[in-house]
Structure 1
Amino acid sequence: MAKPTILLVDDSVLMRTIIGDIVRADDELSLVGAAENGKVALEMVKSLKPDIVLLDIEMPEMSGLEVMEHLSLMSRAKVIIISSVAQVGSPEANEARALGAVEIIAKPSGTMSSRPCPQEGSRHRRCHPPRRRLTPAREALSLRFGASFPER
């Protein structure tokens, strides 16, 4: 079975980098593109025909919810919302579900620090927490689709 292809859509360069790294680290997933807003995403969907779209809600030019309205008419891609505003049970999450989102993942909140580890060379839990067995994106895909991923 071919790897599911993924299009990542988020206006934040930082989030595109972090989420892109998570997806690229999984050998069973293929990141085929990244878009900075909804308008660009719709053009990319036409040409790339991804199996899955990882989609933010709040973006300039066209929101993730607006993208979903158009996407359902032009693609069979599954949509996974990755957003800080679409928390489970929120109006945005409910609307995304109504528009066909298969999963909603909350973006991490809080601050990130670029300060170096105070114990250089060590791998202690405060600066280097243990890695989870499944990445959030992979966990959502596994929960939703089980052992096999959707085919085109």
Structure 2
Amino acid sequence: MERKKIKVLIVDDSALIRTLLTALLNEDRRLEVVGTANDPFEAREKIKQLSPDVITLDIEMPKMNGIVFLKNLMRLRPMPVVMISTLTQAGAPATLEALEIGAIDYVAKPQGDDPHALEQYGKNICEKVFWAAKANVAHFSQTSEPKKSRVTMSGRAKAGFICAIGASTGGTEAIKCVVSALPEHAPPIVIAQHIPAAFSQSFAKRVDACSAVSVHEAAHQQPIEAGHVYLAPGHSHLRIRRAGSGYVCMLDDGPEINRHRPSVEPLFDSVNAAAGKLAVGVMLTGMGADGAQALLRLKERGAFTIVQDEQTSVVWGMPGAAYKLGAASAMLPLEKISAEIIKHACK
């Protein structure tokens, strides 16, 4: 029996983009574009008529912008949404806000007419729409709750302790939830989140604004200190190395690893080499399996490892892959991860 296709509604004010996205998405046998709308008012009617499984939504539109429409949609009829964004620093705040409201993922507006680039773009958007249909839409109501109280430390962190976090789809909000609950003098945290280069600085500032710890986009050879969180820039792998009794950040723009740069795998492996059993490794929500094998290597070295549970993950790809490998010392809901990190830091 043929599997039922995922029904997609495209919402964009550009006729050219609607036509192009329709052609690209219909190339994938798992997907079917059931309709298009040129503004949110038309989209509202098409949603009632067509009951799509996923919407692609432009941010910049006349009559009502995508952010306002997304807020209304998530309040009245929560469903998977993939934002069509401008992947520039100017476009970052609106896209990050969309993820905060409840969008599952985002993809760039298609540009240029290079056939190879367009083919790759098509594969990318099809994969994101496919996974969005499987995503846990309830996540946005959990991450949008009023901020919970911060975790307290029962004593000083062990000398040399460090925590490494990996994440992808749904990770911007999951990271914000974990980091904003940390106490001011928390041990150092290093993070690899799959994110475009133009977004990582805005993302670091966004998390910093709601946290007691200081959150930075990591810089090459930057010393790693307690009370600070270091996020891999969107254009570089982040690794750490020993420097005396502490650690420093090391960046490189070498080839993609597991189709990503930054990738979770080199971060976890460098933490394994530099800190071993003094580390805690955490795998949060994300599509794919990047970092799963590296988390297993951390656990085998004696580090404590955590994966986010399926119920609170937007996409249980990366944490699920790690769990199935036996790479998790513990599987926890998102809201309990911060306290677990601090507990192991102070043992």
TM range (shorter): 0.7 to 0.9
RCO (CA 8 Å, sep 6+): is it higher in 1 or 2? 1
In structure 1, the residue matched to 2:13 is 11
Q: Deviations over 1:116-144 (max 9, x none)?
A: xxxxxxxxxxx6537439622212135x4
Question: What residue ranges of structure 1 are gaps of 5+ in the alignment?
Answer: 113-126
Secondary structure, aligned partner of 1:53: strand
Secondary structure, aligned partner of 1:17: helix
How many residue pairs align between the two structures? 133
| Aligned-residue offset at 1:2 | 1.9
**What is the one-letter code of the residue matched to 1:23?**
L
CA distance in 2 between counterparts of 1:128 and 1:81 reads 23
In structure 1, the residue matched to 2:38 is 36
CA distance in 2 between counterparts of 1:64 and 1:22 reads 22
Secondary structure, aligned partner of 1:8: strand
In structure 2, the residue matched to 1:45 is 47
Identify which of 76, 79, 101 aligns with 1:99. Answer: 101
In structure 2, the residue matched to 1:136 is 124
CA distance in 2 between counterparts of 1:31 and 1:128 reads 21
Q: Deviations over 1:29-83 (max 9, x none)?
A: 0111100011111111122111100000000011111111111133232000012
**What is the one-letter code of the residue matched to 1:138?**
C
Q: 1:5 to 1:57 in 2, by over 3 A?
A: same
CA distance in 1 between counterparts of 2:121 and 2:17 reads 21
Task: Check conservation: 1:51, 1:78, Cα contact below 8 A.
Answer: yes
The structure whose residues are more often strand, as a share, is 2
- Percent of counterpart pairs with the same letter? 33
CA distance in 1 between counterparts of 2:89 and 2:129 reads 18
CA distance in 2 between counterparts of 1:49 and 1:16 reads 18
CA distance in 2 between counterparts of 1:104 and 1:88 reads 15
Task: Check conservation: 1:45, 1:75, Cα contact below 8 A.
Answer: no
Structure 2 length-normalised TM: 0.35
CA distance in 1 between counterparts of 2:79 and 2:88 reads 20
Task: Check conservation: 1:53, 1:78, Cα contact below 8 A.
Answer: yes
Task: Check conservation: 1:84, 1:108, Cα contact below 8 A.
Answer: no
Secondary structure, aligned partner of 2:67: helix
Q: 1:23 to 1:70 in 2, by over 3 A?
A: same
**What is the one-letter code of the residue matched to 2:92?**
S
Question: What residue ranges of structure 2 are gaps of 5+ in the alignment?
Answer: 136-347
CA distance in 1 between counterparts of 2:88 and 2:121 reads 25
**What is the one-letter code of the residue matched to 2:124?**
P
**What is the one-letter code of the residue matched to 2:39?**
N
Root-mean-square deviation (CA), in Å?
A: 2.8
CA distance in 2 between counterparts of 1:51 and 1:91 reads 26
In structure 1, the residue matched to 2:68 is 66
CA distance in 2 between counterparts of 1:56 and 1:100 reads 15
Secondary structure, aligned partner of 2:17: helix
CA distance in 2 between counterparts of 1:6 and 1:128 reads 23
| Aligned-residue offset at 1:84 | 2.0
CA distance in 2 between counterparts of 1:133 and 1:21 reads 12
